Amino acid sequence: MAAITTRPRTTVAELLRACRADLTPSELLVAQALLADYPAAGLQTVAGLASTAGVSAPTVVRLVAKLGFPGFATLQQRLRAELSARSAGPVELYPEPGPDGAVTPLLRRCQRTIGRAVTQSLRELDPVELDRAVALIADRDREVVLTGGRVSSTHAEYLARYLSLLRPGVRYLQPDRAVRDAALLDVGRRSTLVVFDYRRYDDEVVEFGREGVRRGGKVVLFTDRYLSPLASSATVLLTTVVEGPRPFLTLTPALAVVESIVLGVVEASGPRLRRRLESFDRLTAREPR
Amino acid sequence: MAAITTRPRTTVAELLRACRADLTPSELLVAQALLADYPAAGLQTVAGLASTAGVSAPTVVRLVAKLGFPGFATLQQRLRAELSARSAGPVELYPEPGPDGAVTPLLRRCQRTIGRAVTQSLRELDPVELDRAVALIADRDREVVLTGGRVSSTHAEYLARYLSLLRPGVRYLQPDRAVRDAALLDVGRRSTLVVFDYRRYDDEVVEFGREGVRRGGKVVLFTDRYLSPLASSATVLLTTVVEGPRPFLTLTPALAVVESIVLGVVEASGPRLRRRLESFDRLTAREPR
DNA sequence: CCCCGTGTGAAACATCTGTTACAAGCAGTG
DNA sequence: CACTGCTTGTAACAGATGTTTCACACGGGG
């Protein structure tokens, strides 16, 4: 991310269509080639684009100039910027233009995108990685500390609430600097840190994880496929698809993985857990409905 | 476009993730930069990518070689090919090699049950009911109060965090008797109560909802198909499948519905929201990474 | 018929790019 | 402490890239 993601007001494609009138025949060929495989065609070299359009390099350059760019490089920059804007934060791509005018019904879009994200994430989840996560979390000789970013911390809390039923030594840390710092004091070789960090990645969360590792802890990291900076320090990496109904990200797949882990911990814990759950039952079911 | 758009079996992104283990720290920086702004970052020059990653050009080249490409140009070709190949959305980008062969029973069961629960829940969700929920929640003349049971309250919190970005007058109530009682004092005709109550139903939550209705509030109730006792008092009823990998319940479908509502509220709010989000952006992006 | 404006490509050029070779820095080991 | 192996950046290099120049081809008007 970073850089100047100043979204240009008009896209290259729009420019192309607008100038269509005063282009020479050969230049039109270039424009067509450009739009036919947009934006990939524009990201090759001038010679490459010229050859796919069936014209010479100078023709491409002249078109570029006609569009108002100082050079081919600038056009490419613009193309890349458009590309980046598609997967940036909610605001950048907020307009939700609806390419073909008609906006698909809310529910239908959610069905498609979220449903797919969940199934795909579960399908692509590495079983070995999942087992390692379960092992680190189920181990009763380790304490488990959970936290996450401003939004994803609710996932941490969700997991924490389940885990508290399943074993002792579970701590959820609110997304707060002071809380996390204090907790770090007790982090050591026997600590499992479960961290949720999705785009945009949270510096404080990353720093928490890094410091935890420095103190000997192991990190189970939930993140998206673009990997939080903390990924390099993580012992176990659990990635999920986050592309939801535009312009939003979805954390539903992440929750699916969380629940998978809960089940894994249950199964790893054996009969001792059964007694624990029964005991909990007696506590909560004091007044039967 | 011409040529053969033979989709490579594995994407660059996948390669990157696969090689994560044997990359040096600096190379990891490059990998992150690449994935963080995929695929645009990889379509600049080597020097450009190096500078956004904060390393030198040779490091980039070494990473490229490690991935198995004969040169940077080849990698870019691949990137462009991926770009051209995708027509059905960003998710398609990851065609999924699929861990062929054995999948852990644990994972397989979660895939089946959770995946099905999500798709089924979304499929069976009544669009009209969803719209009514969105209307009640998006209405700026109403305040929104959210709460839930011991486990499901994290869903309430999740929704609350998003809503706070989208509009004023959002309050999340912890699953605590005293907190809820205090909040009830301010509940009136202008209140929308968003309540999560799944088996086993929580008396305190139900009582909170009922009292809210008595005071003139309207209730949007998230519950399972067996219906919380509060259902009879609810204005809008959103039910989801909860049958997960036995013996557990899953609240993943509920989160899918929550996210659908967030999207609905965004779309119902129009351009005013855009300014609000931009303003928020400026707040959070004070220290660029 | 010649002239002239326009559109276009071949070739030459200067620059920038990717790449390679090498040396400095650093951590761990004997 | 020297040595070894590994990372990483600096500097030099060869080749490719974008750009410019110029000449040719074409077509319509004097």
Q: Which nucleotides of D are covered by protein (CB under 7 A)?
A: 6-11, 16-21
Three-state DSSP state, B6: coil
Q: Options 3.40.50.1580, 3.40.50.300, 1.10.8.60, 1.10.10.10; which CATH number does B12-93 get?
A: 1.10.10.10
Report pLDDT digits (tens) over B85-107: 653 333 333 333 333 333 447 77
Three-state DSSP state, B137: helix
Walk along chain A (289 residues) and give the pLDDT tens digit of each residue: 333 334 445 788 878 877 877 888 888 889 888 887 888 899 999 999 999 888 999 999 999 999 999 999 999 999 998 887 654 433 333 333 333 333 457 778 888 889 888 988 888 787 778 888 999 999 999 999 999 998 899 999 999 999 998 899 999 999 999 999 999 999 988 999 999 998 778 889 988 998 898 888 999 999 887 777 787 778 888 888 888 776 678 999 999 999 999 989 988 877 777 677 666 665 554 443 3
Q: Where in chain B is the domain with CATH 1.10.10.10?
A: 12-93
Q: Where in chain A is the domain with CATH 1.10.10.10?
A: 12-86
Three-state DSSP state, A196: strand
pLDDT score for B44? 94
Q: Where in chain A is the domain with CATH 3.40.50.10490?
A: 108-284
pLDDT score for B144? 97
Please give the Cα distance from B33 to B238 (Å, whole number). Answer: 41
pLDDT score for A91? 33
Q: Where in chain B is the domain with CATH 3.40.50.10490?
A: 105-284
pLDDT, averaged per 10 consecutive residues of chain B (289 residues), comes to 45 80 85 84 94 92 92 93 58 34 64 88 86 93 95 95 91 95 94 92 92 94 87 88 80 95 86 69 47
| Nearest-by-CA chain A residue for B289 | A2
Topology annotation, domain B105-284: Rossmann fold (3.40.50)
pLDDT score for A247? 64
pLDDT score for B108? 81
| Nearest-by-CA chain B residue for A86 | B90
DSSP state of B101: S
pLDDT score for B232? 81
pLDDT score for A71? 92
pLDDT score for B168? 92
pLDDT score for B19? 81
Strand partners, A221: A195, A237
D16 closest protein residue (CA to C1'): A45
For A108-284, CATH gives: 3.40.50.10490
**How many residues are there in chain B?**
289
- Taking an 8 Å cut-off on Cβ atoms, the answer to whether A119 and B103 are in contact is no
Distance B18 CA to C15 C1' (A): 37
The full DSSP string for A95-157 is T---TTSPPPPHHHHHHHHHHHHHHHHHHHS-HHHHHHHHHHHH-TTSEEEEEE-TTTHHHHH
Please give the Cα distance from B285 to B289 (Å, whole number). Answer: 9
pLDDT score for A278? 66
pLDDT score for B91? 31
User: CA separation (Å) from A265 to A97, A131, A143, A259, B253?
Assistant: 44, 9, 14, 10, 21
For A12-86, CATH gives: 1.10.10.10
